[in-house]
């Protein structure tokens, strides 16, 4: 399986926990690959890497799409997981450090194209693999993951998030889902909450404060997720 991640700080705890070792990229992309064997399952963690021009982690949808394409092309995974941090809503019962798995579909909340046909294309609605068994087994919340290329949200974004029933807000998953669907590979997301969108403290401040804690929680859940699928693959395939 392949785990696609945006930030080094998000990836470090899971890379360490499963003892993954880095393999050469052999690609012009800044992506970094870390591989490990978990039970009967090969795991590759693909991290978007540092933006060569700006020197920061390549967060957002372009890098996520390229990384997903590259990891599928090179490793032919049977399952892709978009893993990282995200915002949640107090009004929907989210707490800092909660880990959600994706349900139903992935949507974009910043692609507004008011032309027949293109409006739906903008939203995306790429399918999530069925995570009900995983969520029950690991005691995780489930929700619709909504993606944009901004950390904050405009009033238009808020309206679109409400219209599409978004529960978890981040900057990569819909792009990963788009590429996975094109490639015919089942995909879902695991997202740890760093910030509460409807809290009075600024999102960026909450994010910085909670990144380390959420990344540890994410790593714990990813280890158990890998275990869950390593077993169920042996039993005849993921619940996808």
Identify which of 240, 116, 110 has the alpha carbon closest to the alpha carbon of residue 169.
110
Neighbours of 60 (CB within 10 A): 19
Question: CB-wise, 167 or 172, nearer to ligand SAH?
Answer: 172
Q: Is 136 a catalytic site residue? A: no
Q: Is 10 a catalytic site residue? A: yes
Environment class of 53 (CB within 10 Å of its CB; exposed 0-12, middle 13-18, buried 19+): exposed
The footprint of ligand SAH on residues 150-169 (CB under 6 A) is: 151, 169
Which two tokens mark 111?
Answer: 């692609």
With b for 16 or more beta-carbon neighbours within 10 A and e for fewer, the 87-117 pattern comes to bbbeeeebebebbbbbbbbbbbbbbeeeeee
195 binds ligand SAH (CB under 6 A): yes
189 binds ligand SAH (CB under 6 A): no
Q: C-alpha angle with apex 186: 74 to 24, nearest 5 degrees?
A: 20
By CB under 6 A, the count of residues binding ligand SAH is: 19
DSSP class per residue in 151-174: SS--HHHHHHHHHHT--EEESSHH
Environment class of 129 (CB within 10 Å of its CB; exposed 0-12, middle 13-18, buried 19+): buried
* Binding region for ligand SAH (CB under 6 A) out of 79-87, 154-162, 217-225, 232-240: 79-87
Position closest to ligand SAH via CB: 87
Q: Which of 8, 10, 57, 104 is catalytic?
A: 10
Report in angstroms how near the CB of residue 14 gets to ligand SAH at its nearest. Answer: 15
Q: Which of 110, 167, 170, 195 is catalytic?
A: 195
Contact with ligand SAH (CB under 6 A) among 68, 85, 164, 225: 85
Environment class of 216 (CB within 10 Å of its CB; exposed 0-12, middle 13-18, buried 19+): middle
Report in angstroms how near the CB of residue 237 gets to ligand SAH at its nearest. Answer: 29
Contact with ligand SAH (CB under 6 A) among 1, 2, 3, 6: 6
Report in angstroms how near the CB of residue 6 gets to ligand SAH at its nearest. Answer: 4
86 binds ligand SAH (CB under 6 A): yes
| Residues noted as catalytic | 10, 195
What is the binding site for ligand SAH (CB under 6 A)?
Answer: 6-7, 56, 59, 84-87, 151, 169-172, 194-195, 197, 203-204, 207
């Amino acid at each position: 399986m392949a785990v696609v991640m945006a930030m080094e700080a998000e990836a470090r705890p899971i890379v360490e926990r499963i003892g993954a070792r880095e393999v050469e990229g052999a690609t012009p992309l800044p992506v970094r690959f870390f591989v490990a064997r978990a039970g009967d399952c090969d795991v590759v963690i693909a991290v978007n890497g540092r933006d060569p021009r700006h020197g920061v982690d390549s967060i957002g949808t372009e890098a996520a799409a390229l990384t997903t394409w590259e990891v599928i092309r090179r490793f032919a995974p049977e399952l892709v997981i978009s893993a990282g941090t995200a915002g949640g809503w107090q009004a929907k019962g989210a707490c800092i450090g909660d880990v959600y798995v994706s349900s139903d579909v992935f949507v974009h909340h910043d692609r507004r194209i008011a032309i027949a046909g293109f409006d739906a294309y903008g939203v995306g609605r790429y399918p999530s693999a069925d995570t009900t068994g995983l969520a029950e087994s690991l005691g995780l919340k489930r929700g619709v993951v909504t993606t944009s290329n901004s950390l904050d949200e405009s009033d238009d974004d808020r309206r679109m998030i409400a219209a599409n029933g978004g529960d978890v807000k981040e900057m990569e998953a819909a792009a990963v889902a788009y590429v996975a669907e094109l490639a015919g590979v089942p995909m879902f997301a695991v997202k740890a909450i760093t910030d509460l969108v409807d809290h009075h403290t600024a999102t960026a401040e909450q994010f910085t404060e909670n990144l380390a804690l959420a990344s540890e929680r994410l790593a714990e859940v990813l280890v158990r997720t890998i275990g869950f699928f390593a077993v169920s693959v042996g039993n005849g395939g993921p619940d996808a």
